[in-house]
Amino acid sequence: MPQSPIRKLAPLAVAAKARGVKVYHLNIGQPDLPTPQEGLDALMHVGRKTLEYSPSQGIQSYREKLVGYYDKFNIKLDTEDIIVTTGGSEAVQLAFLATLNPGDEIIVPEPAYANYKAFAMTAGAIVKPIHTSIDEGFALPKVEEFEKLIGERTRGILICNPNNPTGYLYSPEEMEQIRQIVKKHDLYLYSDEVYREFAYTGKPYVSACHLEGIEQNVIMIDSVSKRYSECGIRIGAMITKNEEVRKGVMKFCQARLSPPLIGQLIAEASIDASREYCEGCFNEYLERRNCLVEGLNDIPGVYSPVPTGAFYTVARLPVDDCEKFCAWCLTDFNYEGETVMMAPAAGFYFTPGEGRNEVRIAYVLKKEDLKRALVVLKKAIEAYNNLK
């Protein structure tokens, strides 16, 4: 089971703080924006005398409100299509367990969210990575590259759109390409869409649920963690029109009894968050993106493409090994009592040796802190390279 590239440096950050060093956390996608007041009010005023189990598939009223939420994105669902899960992570894991046998293969564009590999391993499945390049902005490879990886054990394609860790948003043309591959080979399309609220291109957002002719193949993954800054309530959803898949997933859901009751109450209330709240979060992340990417590309030798979604970027640094560099920043470096914590991008690649000079950076700090973190990062790169 692979170690999380996001969290494995955490003990070094704790030690740095114990020495009095301020750490700018650019390593983890923990939003710092406020949770909707509607959700906080629901938490503070739980109108129940007993905190009971919820149904294994989730509370009916919450799923009904989710139908309305998805309708705003032209995603047409019934409540039966939605199974509430303990975070988006459980949704991925249960989808894999219900659809993949040991030895089955799924194709995943890399770099990718590292825990996908762990979830596949839990199901006994094998991840077959398809490479995307920072020099091409992490655009999707051509159909021919997918065809090279498709064999008799291939069961599905997994995408994250907008993407974690790259921030890339798949274009309508790329989504059509995926649709054709899925239809031709009768594959599952697992589509992680937890960042849909943060798409910056101005082009139409294309969900896997919009793709015609593969409705029975699509399994969408969702979560309230990012759009409402509610990572801690652990509420996600697995969504599919495929009844057989839902029946398989429900066996696992019944075994784990129920998703979190309090979390569902908060998530249900948060759907009523105002338009101003949603627009405010979007605009703040957009400004942070511009601030971060401009600052990164001003540092000599650093390159970051402009992410078109989510709140991450993968940047190339002029160092020999980002795993060593990120650890060194926490153990041996500080500039005026401050340092930075980033996630080495090698942990987001499934191909050994890839991403050694890249890091994932989450822009979940206010702009003033991002600007200061960029100053510290520049000083760290200079100091590290002067050690040789």
> Is the preceding peptide bond at 111 cis, omega within 30 degrees of 0?
yes
Arithmetic mean of pLDDT over the chain: 96
E strand spans, 274-357: 312-316, 338-341, 343-344
Binning pLDDT at 50, 70 and 90, where does residue 7 land?
A: confident
Contact criterion met (CB below 8 Å) for 315 and 332: no
Query: Where does 37-270 sit in CATH, by number?
Result: 3.40.640.10
pLDDT at 204: 79
pLDDT-derived band at 319 (thresholds 50, 70, 90) equals very high
Please state the CATH superfamily assignment of the domain spanning residues 10-34+276-385 in this structure.
Answer: Aspartate Aminotransferase, domain 1 (3.90.1150.10)
Residue-level pLDDT at 67: 98
Q: Which of 3-17, 261-275, 318-332, 338-352 is the least confident region? A: 3-17
Q: DSSP labels for 176-207?
A: HHHHHHHHHHT-EEEEE-TTTT-B-SSSPP--
d(CA 355, CA 176): 28
pLDDT for 286:
98
Neighbours of 233 (CB within 10 A): 22
Distance, CA of 165 to CA of 359 (rounded, Å): 9
For 177-221, the pLDDT digits (tens) are 999 999 999 999 999 999 999 999 988 789 999 999 999 999 999
List CB contacts of 232: < 8 A, sequence separation 6 or more.
none
DSSP code string of 80-105? GGEEEESHHHHHHHHHHHHH--TT-E
pLDDT of amino acid 155: 98
Query: φ, ψ for residue 61 (rounded to 5)?
Result: -65, -35
Identify residue 53 by its one-letter amino acid code: Y
CB contact at 8 A, 46 and 262: yes
What pLDDT digit, counting tens, does each position of 346-374 carry?
999 999 999 999 999 999 999 999 999 99
- Residue 6 confidence (pLDDT) above 70: no
Q: Please report where in the chains the tokens 């627009």 appear, as a residue.
A: 279
* 22, containing H or E segment: strand 22-25
Domain extent listing, the chain: 10-34+276-385, 37-270
Distance CA 141, CA 143 (A): 7
Rg (CA), the chain: 21
Fold matches, 10-34+276-385 and 37-270: no
**What pLDDT is stored for residue 5 in this prediction?**
67
